[in-house]
Amino acid sequence: MRFILLFFIFFNIIFAENPNNMSLIELYKKNYYTYICMNRWKFINLYLKKNEKLLSLVAFSCLKKNYLTPALDLAKVMRFTKVGRNNALYINELFMMKLLIIRYITDNFNFSFIYIPKIEDNLLAKIFYLIKKEKPKVLNNSLTLIDKDKTYKLEYNMDTNELLIEIYKGKNLIKKVRYW
């Protein structure tokens, strides 16, 4: 029964009609990030080789929901303009950081020798640089990092390929972020 319910929910998200027939820019401005990302192939087919700035909006919609794997679909096709190539590189760097963090957690992989250009505006990048600096101990596919007044608890779920980051201020959980 659960499978059927999940199938219908997923089907409705993927094949849902465009809310009020809004343009991509209107959808983005109204924070329809999940809709945009889940319909990324529709937008890729519509804007491929025509408008990489709009494809970048689709990619950043995926990133706003922390859907790194779907964002890679856009990184693969954004190659015709400097803006597109820069945005594709940004997505690939974030994905590489996620993979290296997962390797650190699952295989105790030391990535301190790997250089990735500094990304300032992303939680995953912050975690990547903290791990690189602190080299925390991994226990049961999870680790804890402390930075100033915040504590970050990371857990990797191998079955779902999700990286969960919980952010605490003191003992209070202030945010949960999943990277898919």
User: Amino acid identity of 135?
Assistant: K
Instruction: Summarize pLDDT for 90-120 with one digit per residue, the tens.
Output: 999 999 999 999 999 999 999 999 998 889 8
Instruction: Please report whether residue 103 resides in a domain.
Output: no
Q: Is the dihedral of CA 115, 119, 144, 98 positive or negative?
A: negative
CA-wise closest residue to 100 among 139, 71, 129, 75 = 129
The number of folded domains in the chain is 1
Token pair for 117: 């250009």
pLDDT at 117: 86
CA-wise closest residue to 142 among 87, 177, 101 = 101
Instruction: Please report whether residue 89 resides in a domain.
Output: yes
Taking the CA of residue 104 as centre, how many other CA atoms within 13 Å lie in the half-sphere pointing to its CB?
Answer: 29
Instruction: Please report whether residue 120 resides in a domain.
Output: no
Instruction: Please report whether residue 164 resides in a domain.
Output: no
Instruction: Please report whether residue 69 resides in a domain.
Output: yes
Instruction: Please report whether residue 108 resides in a domain.
Output: no
Higher pLDDT, 19 or 120: 120
> Considering only 12-21, 48-57, 108-117, 120-129, which range has the smallest mean pLDDT?
12-21
